[in-house]
Structure 1
Amino acid sequence: MLNGAPKCECPEGRYGNPWRRCMAGCEKDSDCSSSWFCEKSRCRPVCSAKTCAQGADCSVVDHRPVCECPPGFKGNSTTQCLPECAKSSDCSSNMVCYYPRCVDPCNFSCGKDALCEVNDHKTTCSCPKGMTGNPLERCRPMTSEDLCSPNPCGKNAKCTASKDIEGYPVASCSCPPGYYGAPLIECKKGDCIEHADCSVDMICRRFGEDRTEGRVA
């Protein structure tokens, strides 16, 4: 009863005009629930075992199936979904196969702050300029100890931490007082350090102040 008047409804599984006749089954898709469709007067599930290809995803739009191959698979979603790759050679040269998908190895191969390059599916990790460390684990800014130990300069030369024109840390090589020469190769001992070391008619050129400098990147 509704407001004192009788109310008629077709029972579950039947359709039609409840004031006239309720029939079993269906006439059209809208007689079925949203994920079912009408076939030969019967409501059937839209996404049955044979609707889409094996392994494909099935969704329903307006009582009709929408088949899609899942991520990492490709092909005709109604007939066959194939893995994107089985081996790295199935991927582009800067990708590797992480079955069933081609992925960028730089997302997981190198350490923190390291540079990553991929060539022919192979990854190379390196620390950027001005940094050092294990590129597979972590790169860190260079210190004076990193720059000068072991000493990259020539024989008898002194190594100090400096910066290049771009502001990156570099090792600077110089000849110490009393030595002269090319600090990247060898500093040779001079004859004097000050004028008093020379005879009265000679002067001492102070190699420690007027020195040649070299830098090691």
Structure 2
Amino acid sequence: HIPSCACPSGYTGDPLIACIPQVQPQCTANDHCPLDRACVGQRCKDPCVGTCGSNSTCHVRFHIPSCVCPSGYTGDPLIACIPQVQPQCTANDHCPLDRACIAQSCEDPCVVTCGSNSTCHVRFHIPSCACPSGYTGDPLIACFPQ
């Protein structure tokens, strides 16, 4: 007579190692779950978990997850949402009088306007280049000793 082992009714597994309670499927389709859940692996689960990128917000509607960037953020919500950078300026009058609006930032206009060895003065956002005393040349290109 050879003994045999079997898991009791309602249990599953290898009877020589362990029998565990058989889990009944909670669902077989999304319709078996609440509207804010989806049927994943026969369980009603939050479909947002692991779906959206960093800083994004997930909303579930009719079992379907939807990722969006929150207000003040931009980007692909499936990858990452990053804070929107507000421009420092859009016109010269948004800057101090000795600065100009360059690429939406208040900058010193002398840096990109005047040539080497020249002097620059900014008045009402407008740079003015000149060769200093004892120098000659085009102040927009370069000034040379006389």
Mark the structure with the bigger radius of gyration.
1
Structure with more contact order per residue of length (Cα contacts < 8 Å, sep ≥ 6): 2
What TM-score, normalized by structure 1, do the two folds share?
Answer: 0.35
What TM-score, normalized by structure 2, do the two folds share?
Answer: 0.49
